[in-house]
Structure 1
Amino acid sequence: MTKTNTQTKSVQNFAIVGAGMAGIACARTLVQAGHRVTVFEKSKGASGRMSTRASSFGSFDHGAQYFTVRDDRFAQALATTPQICKPWSANAVRVLDAMGRVVEAARNTQDKHWVATPGMNALVKAWAQPLIQADAVHFESRVFKIERDTLHPELWQLHSEEPEGAQSVFSGFDQVLLAIPSDQAIDLLRNSNIKMEQAAALNKVQVAPCWTLMVAFPNAAQPGLITLGPQWNAARSVHHRVAWLARESSKPGRDHIERWTVQASAAWSQEHLEDAPERVQAKLIKAFSEITGIRATPAHAEVHRWRYAKTLQALGAPYMHSPKQGIGVCGDWCLGHRVEDAFISGLELALAVI
């Protein structure tokens, strides 16, 4: 009886803000350890920047384009969903000069490129599904304030904005873990009058934005053939507007219709951060044409702005956690900008608080 009571007392109730890779990795680890978890996500679904945009011509991975597997713990986690993760050859990623000419193949043969199927969001969605089925995830719920529980001051409560402007209060949490971009974490902590012990280190993190262009050419290709543009499927570019291009239809499990995702450079995205989407779209289509030689007008074109995309200055530690306050922070920006960095950050924060 005493043992059972001790185990019961050791179970903690965690609130996790953010349902991207870091947040879901953290949440599933805590649940596997026997704790209670509630995840709050401002978007309509789980994925974060591992996002996939649907269109009438097929999907676009308009966030993370692929992931690598360097850490054994990440490999073990991926092994639980072998039907989702597939290698992507990408025709050996090219490196382009400012004129769009191939300079060399990227020298990263030690890292195999992986993608989730049928879209990059499939992996996080699959890992989040048990949490969703347990009614442990609140979508379209933007947490804007954290404060001590009015009835139990040793616990936390969260104020959240729900759809159509409604507000809710969720109470009774032992700890609150933030799995969101560093700037958003800073703003939420500031709005909540919470100062973490490592706040100075958090303020030094720098994350650049990224404008992403998605274009489709449905009449350009037949199954198994490439009949439009370059004979490579992915490239890094030093063009002042464009940093990355990828032929979406070359990825396993995708529709064959010719589609490209183009990610702008960090510097250009920052310079044009507040530009109208129509203006950004026109400029990126022009750069895409210059780089690939594809002059045809796309049947489908749209852009998406990521305010927080590529980490320029990482935290330098896998997470931040104050046991005394019961507040923690994680995300890819703690270690870098890879999908794997987000997973490791969420995992290690969970292990630290267990």
Structure 2
Amino acid sequence: MSALMSRALKWHRPLMIFTLAMVVLAVATTIGLFVDDRQLDGAPIWAKPLKFSVSLAVYAFTWGWLFSLSTRARRTRWWLGTVLAAAGVIEIAIIVFQAAQGHRSHFNVSSPLDITLFSIMGTTIAVLMLANILSAVLVLAVRQADDVTTWALRIGLVVSAVGIGFGALMLGPTPAQSQGLIEGAIGAHTVGLPDGGPGLPILGWSTVGGDLRVPHFVGMHALQFLPLFAMMLLALAGRLPALADETVRVRLVLIMGGAYAAFVALVTWQALRGQSFVRPDGATLAILALIVIAAAAASATALRQGKVGLTRSKVSV
């Protein structure tokens, strides 16, 4: 374990130190859920810092690993990773500070201090997004050892960048805020209803209205899901002969990447219509079914072609 940690720290030291700090914070905020019974907008006061600490830990770890895949532009990679880590520190520090006071961190314009903190968060996120895009361009310019990983990273980076960008959909006053019906806030997670209604445990996603955190979360974590999917295909290649063909695995990654992107578009459309993620209507379910059927049919075709190619190679031998 110590050897693994030592190797990981060499990926990008600031990012990996930040990852460890977020793991410690996740443990601390989990304890906070049990020892502090305060609520904010109907959710435990420490739920939001817990969510962000886990998400930032995964995010920083992933970027540390991605930077380790390239030996080019070493200094640029170090600076971009350091900017990502510093932006994460500022973001989580404000979230924890506001949670400790029992105040909202996002969309809060209740006092001069709240306005200042939210403005700092907005600036920090803008810097993080810029560094994220530049980092993605840097990683995309490097061809990986195999095409499967290359395509998993390419699609994951693009969809992830779009998912992060969806955070902008939460900014700006809602109709109720514009009419002066809700004071002290500009922007919201929920579409069609005020923030703070019934939501999923820990995640807090609205169970009665649209929630823009869903596409933001799902899109952002394409960067973890698709490379893991590529790794899973490689692990199964020993048991499923059709997957031994790299071309088949590339096709499956492309199919899964397309299906994942379509799913992100679907949950975005669902949220913007004011519909809860856990209460899809007929139109949402129909489109979801089409995505699943299309992906399954395309995957079956790719696997069948792989088997045919394997049979032909055995015959030729």
TM-score range, shorter chain: under 0.3
Higher relative contact order, structure no. (Cα contacts within 8 Å, ≥ 6 residues apart): 1
Identify the structure with the greater helix proportion.
Answer: 2
